[in-house]
Chains A and B, each alone.
Chain A
Amino acid sequence: MDRIKSNRQKRFLLLALSFTVFVTALISMRIGPYDLSLQEVFQAIFQLPKSQLVENDRSRLAELIIWDIRLPRIVLAGLVGTALAVSGTVFQGCFRNPLVEPYILGVSSGAAFGASMAIVFPSVFFSLPVSAFIFSACTVLITVSLAQVKGQIQTVSLILAGVVIGSFFSSLVSILKYISDDAALREIVFWLLGGFYQGGWKEIYLLAPIILPVSGFVWFLGWKLNIISIGDEEAKSMGVDPKKNKLFLIFCATLLTSLSVAYVGIIAWVGLMVPHAARMMMGPDNRYAIPLSALLGTLFLLFCDTLARNLIDGEIPIGILTSILGAPYLLYLLRTKTAS
C-alpha cells in the first residue's frame, strides 16, 4: 500500500476514519439477537421527543437494548481498542522494535494471575478487575526492578525480564487452573480469552477518565516518540532526554494496558498489528500514527465484538477472533516485508 505523505491528506483520512467508526458503531448497535432498525437506533440514542415516536413496548425495548447492553459494549470496545493500540505504538517506538506488543513487560500474565486468584478465592480477592490491575502493575514493577543494573535499564534486559516474569506468572495461573473446580476453571478460561460481555456504564465511568486523557497526553508526546525511536544518542543530540521520556511513556502505556486487561481480559494482537497497519497507511510519524492507531484499534475491536456477539447463538470470546484475524495479518506483513 502506498502510504499517504501530505499532512492535509493525513488529517482528512483521520476525519474519514472517525466517520467510519461512527457508522460502524451505528451498524453494530443495529445487529444482535434482537435486530433494530436504524430509525429505532437513532430514536433510542438521541431520545427524540415522544411525539415523533410511536410510544409502544418495542421502542422502550429498543431504548433498553441500546442504552443498557449494546452502547456500553461499543464504548468499552472503543476505549480498550484505543488503549491497546496506543500503548502498542508507544512500546514499539520506545523499544525501536515493530514486533513488540503491550504485554511485553508481563502485564497480561500478571493480570491473568490476579483475575484467576479472584475467581478461585473470591472471599479473599473481592473484586476481579482490582485484583487483576494490582497484579499486572506489580508484575511490571518486578520486571523493571529486575532489569535495573547499577541504576540503568537496558532495553534487552527489560524485554528478557518481561519474558521471565511473564512465564513465571503464566505457570502460577496454570497451578490455579489445576486446583480450581470446573466452574472456576471455565470462568478463568473465558476471562483469559477476553470479552466485553461484562461491560457496563460503571466500567466506562472508571476507564474513560483515565484512558482518554492518558492517550491524549501520549499523542501530545508523539513528536518526541519519533525522536526516541531513532536512537538514544541521536535523541539526546536533538535535545530530547531519552531516559526520562521513555520511562514516562512506558508508564503511560503500561497504565493503559493494565487497566484494559483488568476489565476485559487478555485481547491479543490489537497492540501488535494495529500500530503496524497505522504506520503502513500514514508512515511512522507518531503525531499521526497515534490517533490513527486509536481509531483503527476502536474500529477493529468494534468489528470483532460485533462478530463475537452475532456469529453463533452464544458468544465467542473476542480474544479468539482477534487472534484468528491477527495471525494471518502478521504473516502477510512478514511476507510482504521480506518480498520488498
Chain B
Amino acid sequence: MLKVEHLSFRYGNKVIFDHINFALQKSQLCAVLGINGSGKSTLFKCCMGFIRPSHGAVSLQGKLISTLKTSEIAKSVSYVPQEHPITFPFTVKEMVLMGRTPHISNFFRIAEQHYERVDNLLDRLSLAHLADAAFSQLSGGQRQMVLIARAIVQETPVMLLDEPTSSLDFKNQLLIWNMLVELKEQGKTVLVCTHDPNHVLWFCDRVIVMDKQRLIADGSPRDVLDEEILKQIYGPVCELVQLRDAGMVIPRLEQHDGTTSKE
C-alpha cells in the first residue's frame, strides 16, 4: 500500500534522515518510534507529498507519489496532524465534512450523501452531540477525535497520524488507540508517529525505529523493542518488564546508593 525506497532528506548540508526503506501492507498498524529530532515528522511529510525528498521515492498503491496530483494523493492517503488550534471557528460538522473534499464534485452545493456520511460517522464515534459545537472550543481529546473522524470520512486505504495522542489524557489515549486498532481491522493501513513505546507494544503489529537519522529496526514490536534497542534509543533510563502477554517499558529507578533498580 505504502512503499518507501532509499528515502533521504536534507536541509542544506544537514541530514534529517538517510536511506529509509519500508513497505506497509493492507490491515497493518505500524508505529514510527524515535526521539525528538530523529526525522519522524519529516518522513511523514515526504510520505504525504508535502515536501520532496532529496533522494529516493514514495509509492502509494504502486504509483510514485511524485507523479500524482494533490487531489489523487488525497484519495489514497489521509493525514491527521498534531492537535492544533485553528483561526476560524468552524463547527465539528464542517471540519469533518472537509474530509469529503476529494470526493466532492460540486463545491457550490455539496451533495446530501456527503452530509449523511458525516452524520453517520459522528453518530458512530459518539460525537453527534458536538456536531454544531465550534472545533476551537473543544478539549484536546475531542479535537483529536474530530481530526481522526475527518481522516476516516476521507475513505482512503492509507492513514498517517502524527503523534495523535501527544496532548491527551490517559482515557482519551486509550480511546484513540482502540479506534486505530479498529481501523486496522477494517482493512486500513495505518502509520502512526508516536513517542510512547508502551503504546507500540500494546496496540501496534509493527514498529519502525528511527535513531540518528537512520532506520535501525523494523518488525513486530515484541521482537524489536528489546532492552538493547531501548537503550540505543533512550539511553539507560528505562527497562522492559513483562506484563501479561505484552511487555511494558518503565523508568529505571535510581537507588539511594546510586545504583539502578536492576543492578
Chain A residues within 8 Å of B, Cβ to Cβ: 5, 93, 96-98, 220-224, 226-227, 229-231, 233-234, 236-241, 279, 283-285, 287
Inter-chain contact B94/A233, CB cutoff 8 Å: no
Inter-chain contact A230/B108, CB cutoff 8 Å: no
Interface range on chain B: under 10, 10 to 19, 20 to 34, or 35 or more?
Answer: 20 to 34
Chain B residues contacting A5 (CB-CB under 8 Å) are 91, 132
Chain B residues contacting A230 (CB-CB under 8 Å) are 86-88, 90, 95, 98
Q: Can you list 23 A-B contacts (CB < 8 A)?
A: A5-B132, A220-B107, A223-B104, A227-B98, A229-B88, A230-B95, A230-B98, A233-B45, A233-B50, A233-B79, A237-B48, A237-B74, A237-B79, A237-B81, A239-B71, A239-B74, A239-B102, A240-B70, A279-B89, A283-B89, A283-B91, A285-B90, A287-B108
Quick one: closest B residue to A223, CB to CB? B107
* A-B residue pair count with CB separations less than 8 angstroms: 87
Chain B residues contacting A224 (CB-CB under 8 Å) are 107
B13 CB to nearest A CB, Å: 16
Quick one: closest B residue to A227, CB to CB? B98
Assess A239 versus B90: contact at CB under 8 Å? Given A220-B108, A221-B107. no
Per the bound structure, the CA–CA distance linking A1 and B102 in Å amounts to 34
Chain A residues contacting B78 (CB-CB under 8 Å) are 237
List B residues 14-42 near A (Cβ within 8 Å).
none
Q: Does B49 contact A (CB under 8 A)?
A: yes
Name B87's contact: one of A229, A236, A285 (CB within 8 Å). Answer: A229
Chain A CB within 10 Å, residue with most, of B86, B88, B107: B88
Chain A residues contacting B81 (CB-CB under 8 Å) are 231, 233-234, 237
Per the bound structure, the CA–CA distance linking A60 and B94 in Å amounts to 54
Per the bound structure, the CA–CA distance linking A276 and B84 in Å amounts to 22
Chain B residues contacting A234 (CB-CB under 8 Å) are 79, 81
Chain A residues contacting B132 (CB-CB under 8 Å) are 5
Quick one: closest A residue to B160, CB to CB? A237
Name B70's contact: one of A220, A223, A239, A287 (CB within 8 Å). Answer: A239
4 A-B pairs with the lowest CB-CB distances in the bound complex, closest first: A239-B74, A284-B88, A237-B79, A223-B107
B246 CB to nearest A CB, Å: 32
Per the bound structure, the CA–CA distance linking A233 and B84 in Å amounts to 13
Inter-chain contact A238/B88, CB cutoff 8 Å: no
Inter-chain contact A98/B87, CB cutoff 8 Å: yes
Per the bound structure, the CA–CA distance linking A221 and B101 in Å amounts to 12
Chain A residues contacting B50 (CB-CB under 8 Å) are 233, 236-237
List B residues 83-134 near A (Cβ within 8 Å).
84, 86-91, 94-95, 98-99, 101-102, 104, 107-108, 110, 132
Q: Does B165 contact A (CB under 8 A)?
A: no
Q: Does B214 contact A (CB under 8 A)?
A: no
B134 CB to nearest A CB, Å: 8
Inter-chain contact B79/A285, CB cutoff 8 Å: no
Q: Does B154 contact A (CB under 8 A)?
A: yes
Assess A283 versus B73: contact at CB under 8 Å? Given A220-B107, A227-B101. no
Per the bound structure, the CA–CA distance linking A8 and B86 in Å amounts to 26
Chain B residues contacting A284 (CB-CB under 8 Å) are 88-90, 94
Q: Does B75 contact A (CB under 8 A)?
A: yes
Inter-chain contact A279/B110, CB cutoff 8 Å: no
A236 CB to nearest B CB, Å: 6
Quick one: closest A residue to B147, CB to CB? A234
Name A238's contact: one of B45, B74, B94 (CB within 8 Å). Answer: B74
Chain B residues contacting A236 (CB-CB under 8 Å) are 48-50, 70, 73-74
Chain B residues contacting A93 (CB-CB under 8 Å) are 88
Chain A residues contacting B107 (CB-CB under 8 Å) are 220-224, 287
Chain B residues contacting A226 (CB-CB under 8 Å) are 90, 94, 98
Per the bound structure, the CA–CA distance linking A262 and B104 in Å amounts to 38
Quick one: closest A residue to B107, CB to CB? A223
B75 CB to nearest A CB, Å: 7
Assess A283 versus B101: contact at CB under 8 Å? Given A233-B81, A239-B71, A239-B75. no
Chain B residues contacting A241 (CB-CB under 8 Å) are 70
Contact code string B202-242 (vs A, CB < 8 Å = 1, else 0): 00000000000000000000000000000000000000000
Chain B residues contacting A220 (CB-CB under 8 Å) are 107-108
A340 CB to nearest B CB, Å: 9
Chain A residues contacting B98 (CB-CB under 8 Å) are 226-227, 230, 238
Per the bound structure, the CA–CA distance linking A299 and B45 in Å amounts to 45
Per the bound structure, the CA–CA distance linking A93 and B110 in Å amounts to 20
